[in-house]
Amino acid sequence: MANLTLLWGGIVVVLLMACLAPQGTLGDIHNLPTLWTNAAKTTRPQLAGRSVVLAPDGGRNAISNAYEYSMGLNSQLPDVYHNEIMIRYTQEYLANAGATVFMTRERWFGTSDEQILDDQSPANCIKTGGWTSYGIGFLGYHSYVFGDLNAETAVAAFVTTLAADGYYPVYIRGLGDGQNRASRTLIRIFHSGGTTTLYMNQNMYSRQWMYAGRYYFTKTGFRVEVSNKLDFAVDAGRCVIVDAVRVGCGSLGGYPRFHYGTSSFLTYMNYTVSTSSATAMADFSKQMIQGDLETANWQNWALFYLVSTATGDSSIRGTQDFSYSNGRTSSYTGITSTAIYNSSLQAASDSFCDAIHAAAVSTGLVDKAKDLHQWPPLDSSSRMPTMMAIPYYASNNADMLLAQSEAGRENLGRAYYKGIAKYFSSTATIIPLPVNYLHTINQGGNVVRVCWRQPDDTQESTDAATAFKIYRSTDGRGWDDGVIVAAFTYLNSLCYDVTSLTVGQVYFFKVAGLNAGGEALTKWTAAARVTDPAVGVTRPPIVIVDCFVEGFVHTSTNIEGRYTREYVVEHALSIAGAGYSFDSASADIFSESQWVTTHLAMYKAVVWASGDTAANINVFPAVAQTAINSWIAGASSASPRSLFVSGSNVAAGLSAAGSTSLTFLNSQLKSTFVNANANTFVVRPNAGFTMSGTVGFNSIVVLGNPYAVSSPDQIGTAGTGTAALYYGPSSGTNVAGVSSRSTAGYYASFLLGFPFETINSRDERDKLMASILSTIMFAAPDLPLALPSVSSAASMATQASVASRSSASIATTVSASVASIASIASTVSATVASASSASVASESSASVASESSASIASASSASIASASSASEASEASRASASASVASEASASATQTPQYSCHVECQGGCTGPADTECVSCVHFKFGARCVASCPIDYASKADHVCAPVPNDSLPIGAIAGGAGGGVVLLLLLLLILLLVVRRRRSKPAPNAEAPAPQSTMLFANPLLDHGAEMDGVYDTLNAPGPARISSPDYEKAMLAAEYEAPHHPGQEQESTYDTLGASGMAPLPPPTVSGITYASISAADN
């Protein structure tokens, strides 16, 4: 019996881990736990089955409306820094290592919007199928429907219009009140990169918000669906619940939500915790582990508490870590605490502290040793191993500079992941570092070669990558779920050829190394616009060089825009808009002589994106200068050269370096340095420069904007350089842009005194890029036509070269952009039909197959181009090439921004999104052009999707159903009459009056509800006599009072909890590698 208890204890902890598990994905860029580390899906990441609570201390207090600790130098806020390190690095590493991560503070930076969508709102929750409103929900009722193992017969779709495009976290409110809820509820999240499918265990986490990942949504592209399709036999007869979805972080009192501390945030998220953040952390961890002390589950958990401190002595610095003194005397404070840990938990906590301290010191932090402490989170956390880390002293300038630096934060965040991994296993395999030298090389024939290098972590011997995952996007923001590939070696780099791409389409790529430890983080983004060999172009004319290599210095006004390394995106989209194809490369590729020798000479233009650098940083180091100088020297009529450089302090850095760098500024960029800060953030064209109007770039930290430019360069002209742009909207002589073009020398250049990517408006970026390229390029655009775009939802798994993917799983991946389950044909059909928003409720298997075949073409957004469409695009390109044989000057002067219109656009577009079409190919759904109307909408004569009205229901069927109901009612009355007469003839002897029904409350701290109905609603969960505390009693009375008018009859509840009443025993879950995964389908195993 003891062994059985231990087995089910292990199952419970994995149920916790898999409460929201991605379906079939092989790792995750969306901040969800990685499931697999190899393409064959046979190896779990090392921290799979482990749960970690991250508890960064400090932050704002909603009650006092002030920061809990404002102790940093120069008004810095180290308690905010803690959460930033946890958000950006530690939680990412832990999730990529397979761990389930819980955080006591907000898990993403500020968003421009925050919405809570309730299932009772018809505008925000569109239900199809037999949903029934019931019980206590977030804003009223919640809804349930019985699951179906055979088909999807009900869907609840949460929809809204967001304030702006952006990255948003998604939370789903759990209602795990009983075992009659599905343990694998199917959830689909539609985002800019495609569709991510999750399974949520609805047996756990009563009335709490469960984190479902982070995604990029367009304003009108948000949709989360909850399906009643079940695929786990143990869920037969169980219910699927919907209550509410939260999207975004929002703000409070003018401060982003992630600034707020543990107590304020958890209270806002409906957790019952102490008003003290320090104690609230332990309260939260206890609720998460759900009191499994009778088993060994605590060994799979860890609470990591991060705090800062300061002293009056500014010379004191270093990292110091603590475990609970537990009755022992602390040499740090001399205080002996109460012993509340058992010996095993004490030893585990000490070991946890040792591992974290060793990892932190390895980053170069000053070692202030480890010790014992009685701090509240330590002496309140008696259910899992807990330690407290002090990474730096906020009163020390050197420590604070380290805390503000991007490199310092990245190293510390990775170190904390290493410490946690090594606590769970002293022989842990450590995740690889992010790749570098990332670049693309167009191969022609719809193929782009993506290349990179894998750096070594010199402190680790186990971090070598054994495989790689490539993520893909068509807008640089929304990413697919990635494909694991086997790389080959080319010119000292690791490479993979991505095939079956669409000519003229812009693609973005990220690469992550994998090993038994998990999946590396992705740091850099590469881009390519696919060339068209049909017009004689195999290699593109332009290469974009991402030279933004300087680390950010973080301040107390941090927001999302300061954390991205995706600035190649703005350049790529605008260059494509100007009609050119291109490759991209990170700046470190210039130290690779073979790439310089083999590939640089093939490009006719280099776009050098320097970003925002300090005045003493030279963005053209010697190796790059040498390569660029040689490249320029090779200019000829057959191979002209054009160089476009943008960034703040480019001229300042080259001038300060002097010598050959100053010569480079004067001779190659035809510019001089005048002033380090023009202090103006609007530019206008000089006479002769083709741009019209003004262009503004970002000067302030505002949510949704790019990073703020610290000091735009005021520059001057040298040699043949001419002023192309001036600072100021209407007047002023400070030069912002210098251009030069030598027809005889076949070389042209343009220096922009601020970062191109910080221009706030897409239209203004396109306008300026088109004008610059028309000035410096010697050849007409090679892809001037707007070609069909391909949705990122078309997963790379469609490539034939990807091993271990069946044709059925490929089809599912294309249609739903999720890793597929190929074992059940009905699942494939239902998933495909759902992805194309087509109902399968009443379809026969034949019609479902037919519908799915049609849906694949639309859901994949033309990702696999048909021969005819490819031919048409090719012919159009050839025609354009013939038409553009005009003089270069004429072609350049008339160049205007072009877009790759969305595949659903007809008659042109104003941008690449499906909301920017002139008209639609198929249907209009709100602001979007779509291939088919959603499941709950019908198309009108004008091809506009409209809600299905009530009067469209089949009256004949309703009348027939009503007539049948009347007949059934008469039969029931007849049976009741017979029963009553029978009972009257046989009175019960010694009958007693029924005992009065009592209100039942449960001791489980997660069950924050009461009322009479709970006694039936949670039949399996009743632990016996209630232990009622005053707050719980008040909540119970409120719940009872709230539900009194809506209390359904006993019959409905008996039906609703059939499984609970029957006592059906669940089937044993499958086991993989010694870990039991009760919430992951057999297909995933």
pLDDT score, position 362: 94
pLDDT score, position 440: 98
- Give 853-863 pLDDT, tens digit per residue: 333 233 333 22
Cα–Cα distance, 1084 to 25 (Å, whole number): 9
Range 876-892 average pLDDT: 32
- Give 312-335 pLDDT, tens digit per residue: 788 999 999 999 999 999 998 888
Range 703-726 average pLDDT: 90
Q: At a CB cut-off of 8 Å and minimum separation 6, what does 1015 contact?
A: 997, 999, 1000, 1022
- Give 495-528 pLDDT, tens digit per residue: 999 999 999 999 999 999 999 999 999 989 999 9
- Burial bucket for residue 820 (CB in 10 Å: 0-12, 13-18, 19+): buried
Ranking 15-29, 211-225, 957-971 by mean pLDDT, the lowest is: 15-29
pLDDT score, position 924: 79
pLDDT score, position 706: 81
- Give 545-579 pLDDT, tens digit per residue: 999 877 777 765 555 556 677 889 999 999 999 99
Residues of the chain with CATH 2.10.220.10: 904-951
Highest mean pLDDT among 52-66, 97-111, 445-459, 605-619: 445-459
The sign of the CA dihedral 110, 270, 228, 181 is: positive
How many other CB atoms are there within 10 angstroms of residue 962's CB atom?
A: 9
Cα–Cα distance, 479 to 30 (Å, whole number): 8
pTM score: 0.73
pLDDT score, position 858: 30
Class of domain 904-951: mainly beta
754 in Cβ contact with 675 (< 8 Å): no
Q: At a CB cut-off of 8 Å and minimum separation 6, what does 311 contact?
A: 393, 395
Name the strand (E) or helix (H) holding 241. Answer: strand 239-242
Angle at 33 (CA atoms; ends 30, 37), nearest 5 degrees = 100
Q: Per-residue pLDDT for 933 more than 70?
A: no
- Burial bucket for residue 730 (CB in 10 Å: 0-12, 13-18, 19+): exposed
Ranking 174-178, 255-259, 412-416, 630-634 by mean pLDDT, the lowest is: 174-178
Pick from 835, 840, 839: nearest CA to 795: 835
More confidently predicted of 787 and 825: 787
Cα–Cα distance, 750 to 43 (Å, whole number): 51
pLDDT score, position 207: 75
pLDDT score, position 700: 82
**CATH number of the 45-108+269-428 domain:** 3.40.630.40
Cα–Cα distance, 511 to 493 (Å, whole number): 13
Q: Which two tokens stand for residue 577?
A: 């808009």
Bridging pattern class, strands 194-200 and 436-442: unpaired
Angle at 454 (CA atoms; ends 449, 459), nearest 5 degrees = 175
Range 534-543 average pLDDT: 90
Residue positions counted in the chain: 1085
Largest CA distance in the chain: 117
* CA 252 remoteness from chain centre: 23
Residues of the chain with CATH 3.40.630.40: 45-108+269-428
Cα–Cα distance, 303 to 278 (Å, whole number): 12
- Burial bucket for residue 259 (CB in 10 Å: 0-12, 13-18, 19+): buried
pLDDT score, position 558: 55
pLDDT score, position 976: 60
Q: At a CB cut-off of 8 Å and minimum separation 6, what does 886 contact?
A: 780
Q: Per-residue pLDDT for 837 more than 80?
A: no
> Domain 521-776 is classified in which CATH homologous superfamily?
Class I glutamine amidotransferase (GATase) domain (3.40.50.880)
Residues of the chain with CATH 3.40.50.880: 521-776
Pick from 673, 591, 665: nearest CA to 626: 591
- Give 669-688 pLDDT, tens digit per residue: 999 999 988 989 999 999 99
What is the residue type of 335? Answer: I
Cα–Cα distance, 283 to 261 (Å, whole number): 14
Q: Per-residue pLDDT for 1008 more than 60?
A: no
Cα–Cα distance, 646 to 772 (Å, whole number): 11
pLDDT score, position 854: 31
- Burial bucket for residue 906 (CB in 10 Å: 0-12, 13-18, 19+): middle
Highest mean pLDDT among 307-321, 652-666, 995-1009, 1067-1081: 652-666
Range 640-644 average pLDDT: 97
417 in Cβ contact with 94 (< 8 Å): yes
Q: Within 13 Å of residue 874, how many CA atoms lie on the same side as its CB?
A: 15
What is the residue-averaged pLDDT of the chain? 75
Q: Within 13 Å of residue 490, how many CA atoms lie on the same side as its CB?
A: 17
Residue recorded with tokens 């069909």: 788
Q: Which two tokens stand for residue 570?
A: 């703005």
